[in-house]
C-alpha cells in the first residue's frame, strides 16, 4: 500500500513509520507544522512542533530512505483545535484538544489530503490496536491512547494504521535503539502541544483576558470568593481553588455557569456523578442496539467504569454509571468500551459530555 506516515519527531511515530516500511509498504513521511510561530528548539518535554522536532522526524525518514515533507496545517489547527479549545473553556466546558486534533486534523485534513494525493492509509504512532476495523486498547495500559482515538468513524479507521498497539512503550524504545534512531531516548511529550510551557490557565488568561465572577458554595448558596475567569476551573477540580470555607472540608468544583460566570463548589458528597447526558455519539462501527452495557472512560487516563447506555434527548446518550464518579466535566469525551481481556477492550464510540448529573435512578444491574 502507499502509506503516509505522520511523523511528529518523537520515538513512537518514528518506529511506526519504520514498521510500515518493514511491512513492505511504500511509505512517505510527513511532519505536520501546526504552530503558527514555531520555536527553533523544543522547550521542555512538551509540544512536537518546533523546528527541532521537524529535524528529528526528517533524520529518521532519511535513515529509512523514505521521502519526507512538512505540511503546514497551522491555519486548520488554529481554527479546528486551538480556537475550539478556547471557545469551549470560555463556555465553561473542558475540552480534549488531542481528541479534536485526531478527529479534525490527523484523520480528516491530513487523511483527506493523503487520499486525494493517492495514498491508501495514514500510519501514526498512537498506542492502540486496530485490526479488522476494530479499535482496541494498547497492550501497554499505561500508554494506551485509544481514548483520544475514540472519536474516529469507520471510514477513518479503515484508512488508519496503528502498528504500535501490540507492543509496550519500552519495546518501542528498544526498536528505536536497535535501529540507531537518535530519538530512541527522546522524552515523551506531555500535555497540550500548543501550550509549550504547560500553563493552561496562563494561556487561557492571555487569550481570554480577565473575566471575573463569583465562587458560590453549593450548600449555602453564599458567595465565598471571586475568580478571574471560569476558564481557570474544571468540574471536579479540588486543588488550587484558593478558597477556604468555614468548615475546612475540601471543596470541589461542581459546576461552571458561563453567563453569570459563577463557579459553584461543594463538598465531596455533592461532587459525585451518577449519570452523564451527552451530545450525539460517534461510533467506530455499526451503532450498537440500545440499551447496552459497557464501560465508559470519562477523561484521558481515567479509570473506566461499568455503565448502561440508553438513548437520551436530541439524539444524545444517557449513560448511567455503576459507581459515582467525580470530575466529570461538560466538554469531555465519554468513550465507551466493550471489555475484552483477551484481545483488548474494544472502543465502541464516544459522545461529548453535556450534563453530568446526580443519579436519578438506581442502576438496575
User: Where along the sequence are the contacts to other proteins (CB under 8 A)?
Assistant: 28, 31, 33, 38, 51, 54-55, 58, 67, 69-73, 75-76, 79, 109, 113, 116-118
Q: How far is the CB of 138 from other proteins (least distance, A)?
A: 30
Alpha carbons 154 and 302: distance in angstroms, whole number: 25
Alpha carbons 283 and 253: distance in angstroms, whole number: 31
Q: How far is the CB of 24 from other proteins (least distance, A)?
A: 17
| Of 36 and 311, CB closest to other proteins | 36
Catalytically active residues are 101, 193
Alpha carbons 321 and 16: distance in angstroms, whole number: 36
| Of 25 and 318, CB closest to other proteins | 25
| Of 6 and 33, CB closest to other proteins | 33
| Of 62 and 323, CB closest to other proteins | 62
Distance set, CA 95 to CA 71, 138, 270, 295, 300 (Å):
25, 23, 23, 21, 11
Residue whose C-alpha cell reads 489547527 in the numeric block: 77
Q: How far is the CB of 3 from other proteins (least distance, A)?
A: 13
Exposed / middle / buried, residue 75 (Cβ in 10 Å: 0-12, 13-18, 19+): exposed
Is the distance from CB of 247 to CB of 221 less than 8 angstroms?
no
148-182 CB burial, b ≥16 within 10 A, e <16: bbbbbeeebbebbbbbbbbbbbeebbebbeeeebe
Q: How far is the CB of 26 from other proteins (least distance, A)?
A: 9
Amino acid at each position: 500500500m502507499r502509506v503516509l506516515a505522520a511523523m511528529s519527531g518523537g520515538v513512537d511515530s518514528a518506529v511506526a513509520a519504520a514498521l510500515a516500511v518493514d511491512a513492505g509498504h511504500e511509505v512517505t513521511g510527513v511532519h505536520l507544522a501546526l504552530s503558527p510561530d514555531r520555536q527553533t528548539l523544543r522547550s521542555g518535554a512538551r509540544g512536537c512542533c518546533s523546528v527541532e522536532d521537524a529535524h528529528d522526524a526528517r533524520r529518521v525518514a532519511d535513515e529509512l530512505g523514505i521521502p519526507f515533507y512538512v505540511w503546514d496545517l497551522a491555519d486548520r489547527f488554529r481554527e479546528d483545535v486551538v480556537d475550539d479549545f478556547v471557545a469551549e473553556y470560555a463556555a465553561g466546558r473542558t475540552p480534549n484538544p488531542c481528541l479534536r486534533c485526531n478527529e479534525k486534523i490527523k484523520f480528516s485534513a491530513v487523511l483527506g489530503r493523503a487520499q486525494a494525493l493517492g495514498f491508501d492509509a495514514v500510519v501514526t504512532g498512537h498506542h492502540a490496536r486496530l485490526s479488522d476495523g476494530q479499535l482496541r486498547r494498547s497492550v501497554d495500559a499505561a500508554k494506551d491512547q485509544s481514548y483520544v482515538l475514540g472519536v474516529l468513524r469507520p471510514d477513518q479507521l479503515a484508512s488508519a494504521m496503528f502498528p504500535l498497539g501490540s507492543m509496550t512503550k519500552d519495546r518501542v524504545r528498544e526498536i528505536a535503539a536497535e535501529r540507531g534512531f537518535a530519538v530512541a531516548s527522546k522524552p515523551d511529550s506531555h500535555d497540550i502541544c500548543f501550550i509549550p510551557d504547560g500553563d493552561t490557565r496562563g494561556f487561557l488568561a492571555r487569550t481570554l483576558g480577565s473575566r471575573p465572577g463569583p465562587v458560590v458554595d453549593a450548600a449555602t448558596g453564599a458567595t465565598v470568593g471571586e475568580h478571574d475567569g471560569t476558564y481557570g476551573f474544571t468540574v471536579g477540580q479540588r486543588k488550587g481553588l484558593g478558597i477556604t470555607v468555614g468548615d475546612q472540608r475540601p471543596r470541589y468544583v461542581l459546576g461552571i455557569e458561563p453567563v453569570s460566570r459563577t463557579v459553584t463548589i461543594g463538598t465531596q458528597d455533592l461532587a459525585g456523578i451518577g449519570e452523564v447526558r451527552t451530545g450525539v455519539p460517534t461510533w467506530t462501527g455499526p451503532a450498537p442496539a440500545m440499551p447496552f452495557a459497557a464501560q465508559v472512560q470519562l477523561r484521558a487516563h481515567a479509570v473506566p467504569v461499568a455503565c448502561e447506555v440508553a438513548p437520551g434527548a436530541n439524539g444524545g446518550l444517557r449513560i448511567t454509571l455503576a459507581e459515582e464518579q467525580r470530575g466529570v466535566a461538560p466538554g469531555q469525551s465519554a468513550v465507551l468500551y466493550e471489555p475484552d481481556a483477551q484481545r483488548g477492550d474494544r472502543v465502541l464510540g464516544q459522545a461529548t459530555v453535556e450534563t453530568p448529573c446526580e443519579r436519578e435512578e438506581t442502576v438496575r444491574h
